[in-house]
């Protein structure tokens, strides 16, 4: 059974992240979104909380152990502050966690030290591909074996922090076997072209890029896990759980803001929260947030127990995608005309909530 009570260590971490989200992140989120510029001093503070280093086991040089439940709890709290900052802080995990789970001894020894520094490492991953028919189980990016080498070709989209990345984990389909694996592409590799920054409707403070891979030749040892490879399904499930947790955080932010506004906004002599239509809308928002959180916890718990979480992760992701859009839209409605004004955060949460259906590969627990 999933426990509803965080451990003492988890609660301490959540309290720390909540203070960071409310005091540091919320203070800069609006201006960062308007300027489409990441608030690097705040992001560095978020990195120094140590979510990724404490998820790397001690036997691999880290400070703790990997827990999907702890990761989901943390992701929700970060997104409660701001989604763009949350994704920025968590981007290095896209490379670190697969290395911990499936990397060879040589890959771990050489690459994991990148994630144990006080400064945010320049590491990311590339999964999503352009096109309305994107299917993570049918990638168009290919990996072709040529003797002791492998050649990557394809196009990736929404790659966070790709510019200047020292390490990029690229997912590609083997042209012979058809299986999908991840490949460690290090900075400066010939054939990797980072195109100009993408202009998105939401998460505007998160720099994302389209990446062209043209005859990128790597040693066969660049495949994550070496000849054995990785369990791609596990990585997909961890990504879906992370996105569900982030969606819960964004929806919760909109719900709590709208709830407090409705308590204070007086019309016709009483707070609008006492109007039946508003009260029912707030109740529905609360039910949806709690439901999505429980689905996310169930999937994360299965991951921590080493069980197949494909069904649970998929259901959590699908429900949370819809929840994020529905609840953030309700938040705008409750604020009325104010909800449409950019100075109020609910319109930013709505724009961010719209994007969850397309955020494949942007987070991992």
Q: Are residues 236 and 328 in the same domain?
A: yes
Q: Are residues 200 and 240 in the same domain?
A: no
Share of the chain above pLDDT 70, in %: 99
Residue 227 within any structural domain of the chain: no
pLDDT of residue 132: 86
- Shortest CA distance to 363 belongs to which of 315, 304, 313, 325? 313
Instruction: Please write down the HEC assignment for all residues of 251-289.
Output: HHHHHHHHHHHHHHCEECCEEHHHCHHHHHHHHHHHHHH
The packing angle between helices 93-102 and 232-264, to 10°, is 140
Q: Are residues 17 and 64 in the same domain?
A: yes
Q: Are residues 100 and 36 in the same domain?
A: yes
Residues paired with residue 43 on neighbouring β-strands, in sequence order: none
- Shortest CA distance to 321 belongs to which of 260, 225, 239, 233? 239
Last-in-domain residue among 116, 137, 167: 116
Q: Are residues 264 and 287 in the same domain?
A: yes
Last-in-domain residue among 175, 193, 222: 222
pLDDT of residue 328: 98
How many structural domains is the chain composed of?
3
- Domain carrying residue 287: 232-358
CATH code of the domain covering residue 203 = 2.40.110.10
pLDDT in tens, 129-161: 998 889 999 999 999 999 999 999 999 999 999
pLDDT of residue 1: 57
Q: Are residues 211 and 247 in the same domain?
A: no
Q: Are residues 216 and 252 in the same domain?
A: no
Q: For residues 72 and 50, what is the distance between their CA atoms, to the nearest angstrom?
A: 15
Residue 148 within any structural domain of the chain: yes
pLDDT of residue 312: 98
Residue 207 and residue 163 in contact, taking contact as beta carbons nearer than 8 Å: yes
The pTM for the full model equals 0.96
pLDDT in tens, 215-253: 999 999 999 999 999 999 999 999 999 999 999 999 999
Residue 97: pLDDT over 70: yes
pLDDT in tens, 307-336: 999 999 999 999 999 999 999 999 999 999
Q: Are residues 62 and 104 in the same domain?
A: yes
């Amino acid at each position: 059974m999933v426990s509803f009570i965080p451990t003492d260590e988890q609660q301490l971490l959540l309290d720390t992240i909540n203070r960071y989200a409310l005091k540091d992140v919320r203070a800069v989120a609006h201006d960062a979104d308007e300027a489409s510029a990441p608030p690097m001093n705040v992001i560095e503070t978020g990195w120094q909380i140590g979510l990724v280093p404490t998820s790397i086991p001690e036997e691999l040089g880290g400070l703790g152990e990997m827990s999907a439940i702890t990761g989901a709890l943390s992701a929700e709290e970060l997104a409660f502050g701001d989604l763009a900052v949350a994704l920025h802080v968590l981007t290095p995990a896209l490379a670190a966690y697969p290395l911990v789970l499936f990397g060879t001894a040589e890959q771990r020894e050489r690459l994991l030290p990148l994630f144990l520094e006080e400064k945010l490492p320049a590491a990311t991953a590339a999964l999503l591909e352009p096109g309305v028919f994107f299917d993570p189980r049918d990638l168009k990016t290919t990996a072709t074996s040529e003797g002791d080498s492998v050649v990557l070709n394809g196009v990736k989209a929404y790659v966070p922090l790709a510019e200047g990345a020292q390490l990029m984990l690229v997912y590609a389909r083997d042209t012979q076997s058809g299986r999908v694996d991840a490949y460690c592409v290090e900075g400066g590799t010939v054939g990797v072209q980072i195109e100009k920054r993408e202009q998105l409707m939401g998460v505007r403070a998160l720099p994302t890029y389209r990446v062209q891979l043209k005859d990128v030749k790597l040693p066969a040892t660049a495949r994550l896990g070496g000849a054995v490879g990785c369990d791609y399904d596990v990585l997909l499930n961890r990504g879906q759980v992370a996105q569900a947790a982030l969606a819960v955080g964004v929806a919760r932010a909109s719900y709590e803001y709208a709830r407090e506004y409705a308590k204070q906004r007086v019309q016709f002599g009483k707070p609008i929260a006492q109007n039946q239509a508003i009260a029912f809308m707030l109740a529905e928002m609360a039910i949806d947030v709690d439901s999505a959180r429980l689905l996310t916890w169930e999937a994360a718990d299965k991951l921590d127990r080493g069980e197949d979480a494909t069904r649970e992760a998929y259901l959590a992701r699908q429900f949370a995608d819809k929840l994020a859009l529905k609840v953030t839209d309700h938040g705008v409605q409750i604020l009325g005309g104010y909800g449409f004004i950019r100075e109020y955060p609910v319109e930013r949460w709505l724009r961010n909530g719209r994007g969850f259906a397309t955020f494949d590969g942007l987070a991992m627990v």
